[in-house]
Amino acid sequence: MASTASTLSWSSSSWLQSFGGNVNEPPTKLSDGRTTFVILAQKKAKRTRAIILKEDVAELGKKGELLNVKAGFYRNYLHPTGKAQIVTSVLLKEMKIEEERIEAEKKRVKEEAQQLALIFETVGAFKVKRKGGKGKQIFGSVTAQDLVDIIKAQLQRDVDKRIVSLPEIRETGEYVAELKLHPEITAKVRVNVFAN
């Protein structure tokens, strides 16, 4: 039994010394002859995980965002519900390729909108014929749908009527309509209204 105690005290003191403890302090002896040792415990390290969100998570972030979250939160909530994935080098490469593809697509759409705006502005004026009333008055009004139909007939281009901004037209004359082709590009189109 004495050999076990001496082995324990030797290994404990060498362990204590490896962590920078004071080995020169003698172990304290209790009144019944037992010896006590000082045991050092290290603080538990904070564990976090680098993740990417697969979908929006309230009060955490948006889809595609890179975040550091506690390991337990990832393990117990985000991973089982499929809302996040641990970041890897392969995943980062895929994200970079996807971002480049999206940027190229945005650039292509913008260039297409610029070309379409140039076509609309070089056409001149679109002519609309309506049944006439007294003076310059016309029956009814010219709507965005009317302009969309004329563009389709003359240029063979499909345009959504929701992007057409047209002033209220209730008499003959020349008007300017705006087509919001892209968030940054608006084409101005002239509309000539004639009475039959």
Please tell me the predicted confidence (pLDDT) of residue 24: 55
Please check whether the two domains, 48-87 and 111-195, share a CATH topology: no
Provide the pairing of β-strand 66-70 with 35-36.
unpaired
For the chain, give the percent of residues with pLDDT over 90: 36
Checking if the pLDDT of 68 tops 90, the result is: yes
Beta bridge partner(s), residue 193? 128, 173
Banded pLDDT at 10 (limits 50, 70, 90): very low
Lowest average pLDDT, out of 65-74, 121-130, 170-179, goes to 121-130
Q: Where are the domains of the chain?
A: 48-87, 111-195
Please tell me the predicted confidence (pLDDT) of residue 6: 45
Contact 193, 138 (CB under 8 A): yes
| Cβ neighbours for 170, distance < 8 A, ≥ 6 positions apart | 137, 138, 141
Please tell me the predicted confidence (pLDDT) of residue 69: 93
Query: pLDDT tens-digit profile of 111-170?
Result: 999 998 898 888 878 888 888 888 888 888 888 999 999 989 988 888 898 999 999 888
**CATH class of the domain comprising 48-87:** alpha beta
pLDDT mean across residues, the chain: 83
One-character DSSP codes across 125-150: EEEEEE-B-STTEEEEEE-HHHHHHH
Please tell me the predicted confidence (pLDDT) of residue 104: 96
Which alpha helices (DSSP H) does the chain contain, by range? 2-18, 71-73, 89-122, 144-155
Q: Which residue has the higher pLDDT, 5 or 44?
A: 44
CB atoms closer than 10 angstroms to residue 178? 14
CATH 3.20.20.70 applies to domain 111-195: no
* 86's tokens: 């641990």
